[in-house]
Amino acid sequence: MAEIHQVAVESLDYEGRGVARYEGKTIFIEGALPGERVTYSSYRKKPNFEMAQIGQIFKSSFMRVQPKCQHFGVCGGCSMQHQDARGQVAAKQRILEDNLWHIGKVKAETILPPMHGLIWGYRQRARLSVKHVIKKNKTIVGFHEKRSSYVADMTHCEILPPKIGYMLTDLVQLMDRLSIRDKLPQIEVACGDNVDALVLRILEPLSRQDEVELRAFADEFKVQFWTQTKGPETVQPFYPLDAPALTYTLPEFGIEMPFAPTEFTQVNHQLNRVMVHRAIRLLAPQAGERIADFFCGLGNFTLPIARSGAQVLGIEGSAALVKRAAQNAAHNGLSANTDFMAMNLFEMDEVALVRLGKFDRWLIDPPRDGAIELVKAITPETAPKRIVYVSCNPATLARDAGLLVQNHGYKLSEAGVMNMFPHTSHVESIALFVRED
């Protein structure tokens, strides 16, 4: 019989797990919160640490709350529903500051107030797995279980918009009626202002009866089905064909952004508006300036910057997104002061940066890998006076911040977190770097 040990939880790690110590080992405990005394059961043991699940709670944290979702603990979509939302944000703020100091050796002069939004029903984009379980003669639709390739058997989801989150049981019944239920591994969800799209990844053609079932479901639940047979280029609308275009808006800037269901957009549309507002305030673009938007995507920051009257160059690795960004600029009457180009920013060097010309300000919004090659390529001749860095990974932000401050003469003026993904351990943040000539 395994020994049961009681430990004091000291802090949270970057995955939202409680950190404790026992006989010189660090114990990472899922479901535990700082200040608690708990027992645990280990599922992975290494010489210096153990990964564990929480057992009995002897002393509970004041931040502990009852998870709203009945699938919490099994479904891998959320990891922090047991913690008060304010406590989640405070933990993410600490992770950001710890990373900046321990990795980048920098501290922000000003810590920005955290950006908050909806904490339930916020996730406008998601990828749901579909699995037909022969032994149960049942199809399952949901996220993967924690630490597992199995699909969680879910009846609803609290972080998806309610219309979609409470449609899962109906989707299961639909999948069970399809002839290709074992050849349909994924449903991608993309919610817009005027339509909700469901992209079916299909490995075999739909039968005529399948098409009848999908049309009836779309009519009843007011969704639009798309199909995808291979890569992203095969995504096409199925029914209804006269549905409104997928769009989201940035009302403060008078901008409407059309997008395709598999194109990258921020999952939390409400918080995206708050984030763009803050980014533009920090960047402070001026009419007539030349500004670069690196990793511009479909123009989420480019077009609001262009509203200032600045000339903006959006650069993105995906040619398809560059095309979409140019279309969105035209859609919003901003083609005259925007330009876009496709370029692999992970291969940036000093020569390539010089070719782009001098910019007054930069906005950088990279993926999790960060923008190390771009930052390394800066020279005194190409250095902008102000950089706003939007990050989805505090570790790579901290690494790049260290280079900007210690190698290129910037000061980290302001930094803060945004709770883009409530109830998860994802830490999204924004930072302002200023360079004095």
Write out the catalytic residue numbers: 392
Are the beta carbons of 114 and 33 closer than 8 angstroms?
no
Residue 81 marked ligand-binding: no
- Which residues have CB under 8 Å from 427's CB, separation 6+? 14, 92, 95, 96, 392, 393, 394, 417
Which one-letter DSSP state was computed for residue 83?
Answer: B
Question: Rounded to an integer, what distance in angstroms lies between the CA atom of residue 365 and that of residue 400?
Answer: 12
Distance of CA 387 to the CA centre of its chain: 21
Residue 296 marked ligand-binding: no
Residue 300 marked ligand-binding: yes
Question: Rounded to an integer, what distance in angstroms lies between the CA atom of residue 417 and that of residue 112?
Answer: 8
Residue 316 marked ligand-binding: yes
Closest CA to 24 of 38, 5, 43, 41: 5
Question: Rounded to an integer, what distance in angstroms lies between the CA atom of residue 131 and that of residue 133?
Answer: 6
| For helices 394-406 and 85-102, angle between their N-to-C axes, nearest 10 degrees | 40
Are the beta carbons of 299 and 339 closer than 8 angstroms?
no
Question: Rounded to an integer, what distance in angstroms lies between the CA atom of residue 365 and that of residue 241?
Answer: 34
Are the beta carbons of 400 and 428 closer than 8 angstroms?
no
Residue 78 marked ligand-binding: yes
Q: Which helix (H) or strand (E) holds 190?
A: strand 186-191
User: Is beta strand 25-30 parallel, antiparallel or unpaired with respect to 18-22?
Assistant: antiparallel
Query: What is the side-by-side order of every strand in the sheet holding 410-418?
Result: 110-111, 410-418, 428-435, 386-391, 361-364, 290-294, 311-316, 338-342
Are the beta carbons of 272 and 266 closer than 8 angstroms?
yes
Closest CA to 308 of 276, 267, 261: 276
Residue 295 marked ligand-binding: yes
Q: Which helix (H) or strand (E) holds 353?
A: helix 350-356
Residue 344 marked ligand-binding: yes
Distance of CA 45 to the CA centre of its chain: 31
Closest CA to 432 of 397, 367, 386: 386
Residue 191 marked ligand-binding: no
Residue 359 marked ligand-binding: no
Annotated binding site for S-adenosyl-L-methionine: 266, 295, 300, 316, 344, 365
Annotated binding site for [4Fe-4S] cluster: 69, 75, 78, 157
Annotated binding site: 69, 75, 78, 157, 266, 295, 300, 316, 344, 365
